[in-house]
Amino acid sequence: MLKLIYAPGDGIGPEIGSVALKILNYQLDKYGIEYSITPILFGGCAIDAYGTPLSDSDLALIKQSDAVLLGAVGGPKWDSVDASIRPEKGLLKLRKECAAFANFRPAKVYDCLKNASPLKRSIIDRGVDIMIVRELSGGIYFGERSEGDHEAYDTEYYSYAEIERIIIKGFECAMKRRKKLCLVDKANVLASSRLWRKVFDKVASDYPEVETSRMYVDNAAMQLACAPYKFDTVVTSNLFGDILSDEASVITGSIGLLPSASVGEVDIYEPIHGSAPDIAGKNIADPIGMILSVAMLFRYKLNVDAAADEIENAVSAVLEKGLRTADIYDNDSIDTKVKICTTTEIGDAILNELEQ
Ligand code: IPM
Ligand code: MN
């Protein structure tokens, strides 16, 4: 039986989460998958309830489960709590404890949302379909650190084995896509990046069909803005992947659309956006990032590609009909069929497509 943990978190998390859950339940039932879904408090709401963003008993439950479906965590309410128990700390602990080392962040531009991209139409028309494969349980996020008033440091540490396993994920992913893999690093400055290059070159020999490239992260940031069509699959470190995935996401029109899968011992599926406390409780948040994370759960955890395809097609169909939450910025609203909808309306419209 599939054991899922549902951690909606803070801010808009519970609103988008309840919409995503409906889609999850519907598809699990449709495909006859037996499952249990256990809700937990995680993030700021868990700090309020238990004084910690992730309680030991919930962590124990998670470790016995197959995957976590996450909303978003954090908010100004918890900005002043002790750094050691902040909601973000809970998220990092969760990733580490789940050994969720491979984070897949796709960014593609829907035809009907081309006008919502901040990039020029001439660039977007060349197509954007990128997968960022981000290392998620190592690097500067978890390296040795010291925090003093007069000096402070963080360490970018990577072992050969940590690099190798994420690079293999990058190649496997590229094989299922357009067979192009770009390593993004800062090998002209960082010793750790030079080790990434060595491992990349070694692993590349096992995947002769994949066309490889190597790019410094500063250049990659620039190329994403002026020539995103050059990228297919990108593999990179934790910090570089964090930064580049936000940049890639905004090209698509809204960060609210983008899902992610973090794969390891226990998988984590979550939208890449934050908890958006400014719009929480208004039923206006975009649920698509979380709904597409459910699709990724079917693809990556359950290997039921058909269920994932159906969800993705339903999302496309709803967007194609002009239904959108307000975050999807349209810089020339010549498209008169666009209708601004609430979170629940978008969820119902997607469910409706699935039911047809
Ligand atoms: C993300 C977020 C997190 C990260 C934060 C909230 C710790 O920005 O998932 O991209 O930096 O990984
Ligand atoms: Mn981020």
pLDDT tens column, 87-99: 999 999 999 999 9
Specify whether 148 is located in the same domain as 207.
yes
Mean local confidence (pLDDT), 242-271: 95
pLDDT by residue (tens digit) across 11-39? 999 999 999 999 999 999 999 999 999 99
Instruction: Kindly state whether residues 272 and 336 are assigned to the same domain.
Output: yes
Contact (CB, 8 A) for 182 and 233: yes
Domain housing 333: 1-104+256-356
Q: Tell me what the mean pLDDT of segment 269-291 comes to.
A: 96
Q: Does a structural domain hold residue 111?
A: no
Cα 246 to ligand 2 centroid, rounded to whole Å:
6
CATH of residue 214: 3.40.718.10
7 and 84 together in one domain: yes
**Do 66 and 131 share a structural domain?**
no
| Number of domains comprising the chain | 2
Mean pLDDT over the full length of the chain: 95
How many angstroms separate the alpha carbon of residue 63 from the centre of ligand 1? 21
In a domain, 40, yes or no: yes
Res 81: pLDDT? 87
What residue owns the CA closest to ligand 1's atom 4?
Answer: 242
Of the residues 225, 251, 277, which one is the last residue of a structural domain? 251
Q: What residues pack around ion ligand 2 (CB closer than 5 A)?
A: 242
Residue 239 is predicted with a pLDDT of 98
Task: Determine if ligand 1 sits within 6 Å of the CB of residue 232.
Answer: no
Closest by CA to 20, choosing from 343, 330, 277, is 343
CB of residue 270 inside a 6 A radius of ligand 1: no
**Ligand 1 contacts CB of residue 172 (under 6 A):** no
Task: Please answer whether residues 340 and 326 qualify as being in contact, where contact means their C-beta atoms are separated by less than 8 angstroms.
Answer: yes
Q: How far is the CA of 64 from the centre of ligand 1 (A)?
A: 24
Q: Is residue 113 part of a domain?
A: no
Q: What is the pLDDT of residue 36?
A: 98
Of the three residues 236, 251, 266, the one that is the final residue of a domain is 251
> How far does the centroid of ligand 1 lie from the alpha carbon of residue 143, in Å?
16
pLDDT score at 334: 53
Question: Has residue 292 got a pLDDT over 60?
Answer: yes
42 shares its domain with 10 = yes
Task: Answer yes or no: are the C-beta atoms of 277 and 10 closer than 8 Å.
Answer: yes
- 131 and 166 housed in the same domain: yes
Is 70 a pocket residue for ligand 1 (Cβ < 6 Å)?
A: no
As a whole number of Å, the CA-based R_g of the chain is 20
pLDDT in tens, 56-78: 999 999 999 999 999 999 999 99
Q: Are residues 298 and 356 in the same domain?
A: yes
CA of 280 to the centre of ligand 1 (A): 19
Is residue 112 assigned to a domain?
A: no
Angle, CA 107 vertex, CA 129 and CA 140 arms, to 5°: 125
User: Is residue 110 in some structural domain?
Assistant: no
Identify the helix (H) or strand (E) that includes residue 214: strand 211-216
109 within a domain of the structure (yes/no): no
Give the ligand whose atoms come closest to the C-alpha of residue 247: 2
Average pLDDT score over residue span 177-183: 98
Q: Is 269 among the domain residues? A: yes
Summarised one tens digit per residue, pLDDT across range 120-132 is 999 999 999 999 9
Going by their DSSP bridges, the two strands 180-185 and 233-236 should be labelled as: parallel
Q: Which residues are catalytic?
A: 141, 186, 218, 242, 246
Do 21 and 44 sit in the same domain of this protein? Answer: yes
**Which of 224, 251, 278 represents a domain boundary (last residue)?**
251
**Same domain? 90 vs 34:** yes
Res 83: pLDDT: 83
Mutate to test the pocket of ligand 1, among 79, 86, 88 (most ligand atoms within 8 A of CB): 88
Find, among 77, 8, 11, 67, the residue nearest to 40 by Cα.
8
Cα distance between residue 118 and residue 297, in whole Å = 29
Q: Are residues 156 and 197 in the same domain?
A: yes
Confidence class of residue 84 from pLDDT cuts 50, 70 and 90? Answer: confident
Does some domain include residue 271?
yes
Would you say residue 237 has pLDDT above 90? yes
Both 226 and 341 in one domain: the answer is no
> Confidence class of residue 241 from pLDDT cuts 50, 70 and 90?
very high
pLDDT at 333: 52
Say if ligand 1 is within 6 A of residue 215 CB: no
Assess whether 237 and 136 both reside in one domain. Answer: yes
Atom of ligand 1 nearest to the CA of 73: 6
> What three-state secondary structure class fits 160?
helix
